[in-house]
Structure formats: structure tokens, C-alpha cells
Amino acid sequence: MFLRTKAIPAVIGISAFLTASLVSLASEPFDLSPEQSARPRTEKDPSLIASIPARFNFVEDGAFTVGIAPGGTPPIATYATDAATVVGADPDIAQLIADKLGRKLNLAAVAWEDWPLGLASGKYDAVISNVGVTEERKLKFDFSSYRQGLHGFYVKVDSPITSIKEPKDIAGLRIITDAGTIQEKIMVEWNRLNVEAGLKPAEIIYLDDTAASSLAIRSGRADAIFSMNSVQAYQAALTGETRSVGTVNAGWPLTTDVGVVTKKDSGIADAITAALNETIKEGTYAKALARWSLSSEQIAQSRTNPPGLKKY
């Protein structure tokens, strides 16, 4: 078979615990204070505000209410040091949109699996929570793209590997990825293409624990990690032990983006798209992503309902 897999020995769990303890002592690279004094802000745009259809009713007068699912770690969305305020790249994007619309930002924490029902029932004006644009989701919701959906290859800082961007680059390598994910699908397809081309397949190692993956890279049990770029970018910034050698769009061989989600045909999507494009043009958008080490995920232009990922 073209796909080779390998399990890391169970002893890694003990070592992973030690690794996690060491990581917790590392210097936090991001501002996780609830005040977020360095968060980029912008000015309201009266023409944008006037473009919002009268039929769109905001959840709260004077506010832009956004559903968001905080994760365990930065940089997308997590809890601040007060364990109550949600901070991260997505809250920064939400703030810029709220500013453009001349409204106060209200962030409403929600479990990931609950956001579709909450949005459909009118609990939120929008959801900004690393939601990938898919053709299936577009049947029920509108999207305004604001980031590329990227997966990243990361290696040990002193690794001889300098670039992984296409199938031939993984030939013969030992690569950690997550089972049952888009990135696994990409790895399997790249292995198939390499075998067809007479190249050695990569050895795929399935690990879904950050500390265990980090230990496998540090100890030389694996050559690279292929996972969500945002998570790996944070780990690289936090520990200084890994570096990026390439990214692949989640829609490979096509492209797909992450989008602000709004209720289908509610009328607000185009205004949000326009707001995002203004922040891209003025530079506040780039500052927001750079603040969270996500510059590689920038888009040149926001689009309403761009092509989405098909089922996989």
C-alpha cells in the first residue's frame, strides 16, 4: 500500500507530560490581557452603515453581537488572563467590523457545535469563529471571507528541511498529522501521487496531542508536523523550538477561505464584506493578523460567498 502509518510508543505520554510542563513555563508571546490595549481599531463608515438593509434587525441596539467559540490556546480565540474575556485574532477581526459599522462589539461565547442553531435562531448578528467556507454550509448561511484556511508544515528549528510545499517535498519523510482531518486527506493524496511518480511515500504518524507531537519532533522520531497553521504558529512562537517550512490551503488543490458567517439572505453579508475590504485597504486588518502571528493567512480581498470546500 502507498500509505504507511506508525504509532508512537506509549511511553511518549509520560514524556509529553514533562514537555507540557516545560512549555507552560515558556514566555507567552501574545497579549492575553483582558484590556487588549494594542488591539487595532478603526473608524466607522457612514456609507457602509447606510448600505445595511432596513430589514436587518441587529440583536441589540447599537451593538454588533458575534458568536465565538473560544479554544484552549491562542491565536484564534481563547480566554484572557481573567478567564472571562475572549481574545485572539478572531475577536480582533470582529472588533474592526464593529468599528466600521459604528457599533459596540458584544462577543458571545458559544460551544462550536451550537453556533449554527444560535445564528439561525437570531441569537447573534454573525459568527466569527474560524468557520471554513463549505458548499454545504453556504446552503444555510452567507459568508464574508477574512482569512485563508491554511494547514502548515513545521519542523525542528535546526532541521535541514527548508521547504515543504508540494507532494515531492514529503517523499520519505516522517510526518505527524491528525486522523480523520482535511490534512490527513491531503497527506494520503500526496502519498498516492508520489508513488505514481516513483517516489518514496511519507510515513504518516497519527498524533492529536500538541505536547506529544512537540516531543516527537524534538526527539527526532518525526521530521515534520502537518496541522492547523494557526495552532502550529502559536507553538512556534511560544517555544521557539519549531519553524514553518510551508503552508497548504485546506481546499488543496483548490483554495478555500475562513469566513464571517451570517444568516442566509439576511442582508448584512455584503456590508461586512465591504467593511473587511476597507480594513484590508487601510492596513488595520494586516495589523490584527500580524499581532497573532497569522500574517501568512491574509487574503487580498474579502468576498461574499466565495467557492467553498466540497465534502471530503
Q: How many CB atoms lie within 10 A of CB 154?
A: 29
User: pLDDT tens, 208-235?
Assistant: 788 899 899 999 999 999 999 999 999 8
Q: What per-residue confidence (pLDDT) applies to 72?
A: 78
Residue with cell 504509532: 7
Q: What per-residue confidence (pLDDT) applies to 89?
A: 97
Q: What per-residue confidence (pLDDT) applies to 27?
A: 65
Tell me the domains of the chain and their CATH numbers.
Answer: 4-28+150-249 (3.40.190.10), 46-148+257-297 (3.40.190.10)
Q: Tell me which residue of 280, 172, 234 sits closest to 23, measured CA to CA.
A: 234
Average pLDDT (189-196) is 98
Q: What is the pTM of this model?
A: 0.87
User: pLDDT tens, 238-255?
Assistant: 899 999 999 999 999 999
Q: What per-residue confidence (pLDDT) applies to 24?
A: 41
SS3 46: helix
Distances in Å between the Cα of 84 and the Cα atoms of 56, 97, 266 are 30, 22, 30
Q: What per-residue confidence (pLDDT) applies to 209?
A: 83
The chain-wide mean pLDDT, for the chain, equals 91
Percent of the chain whose predicted confidence (pLDDT) is above 90: 84
Cell output for 1: 500500500
CB 215 within 8 A of CB 265: no
Cell output for 52: 445595511
Average pLDDT (15-28) is 43
Average pLDDT (254-261) is 95
Could you give the CA distance from residue 251 to residue 151 in angstroms, rounded to a whole number?
A: 10
Q: What per-residue confidence (pLDDT) applies to 73?
A: 81
Assign 17 a pLDDT band (cuts: 50, 70, 90). Answer: very low
Could you give the CA distance from residue 91 to residue 218 in angstroms, rounded to a whole number?
A: 33
Average pLDDT (161-172) is 98
User: pLDDT tens, 57-108?
Assistant: 999 999 999 999 998 789 999 999 999 999 999 999 999 999 999 999 999 9
Could you give the CA distance from residue 266 to residue 258 in angstroms, rounded to a whole number?
A: 19
